[in-house]
Amino acid sequence: MSRPLPASLPEISSQPVPPPYPTGGGRFGPGMVVRIKRGRAPGHVRTPWYLRGKRGRVERLCGDFANPESLAYHGNGLPAQPLYRVRFTMAELWGDEAERPSDTLDVEIYEHWLEADDAA
């Protein structure tokens, strides 16, 4: 797959949005490029399959929230995970099949599903 790097990343407002809900601070900040971890995990995972391995930008840190992968099985959800709104371009998600490559998708992802991507 060859695609120009800049075109596959969305634009984020130059004015960072403060986290709307309480947080102890996360690893990533608005505008940073992140990649959704690849791979499978059993259980109540809130990271949609079609995003695995895809690169986007952090739009904002939403706050810290109990981990649903623990909550769903009577766990206490702790430690709470920073939750991010991550933005992707349709070009990144669907490649040549994208309906309109520059359209975007926002999705909430917990920090333990994100890794830093230094390619951009």
**Residue numbers of the site for another protein (CB under 8 A)?**
20-21, 46-48, 50, 62-63, 65, 68, 83, 85, 93-94, 97, 99-100, 102-110
Tell the smallest beta-carbon distance from residue 5 to another protein (Å): 20
- What separation, in Å, do the N-terminal and C-terminal C-alpha atoms of the chain show? 17
Q: Which is nearer to another protein, 20 or 79 (CB)?
A: 20
Q: Which residues pair with 58 in a beta bridge?
A: 86
Tell the smallest beta-carbon distance from residue 18 to another protein (Å): 9
Instruction: Tell me how many degrees the CA angle 83-84-89 measures, rounded to the nearest 5.
Output: 150
Q: How far apart are CA 109 and CA 91, in angstroms?
A: 19
Q: Which is nearer to another protein, 32 or 60 (CB)?
A: 60
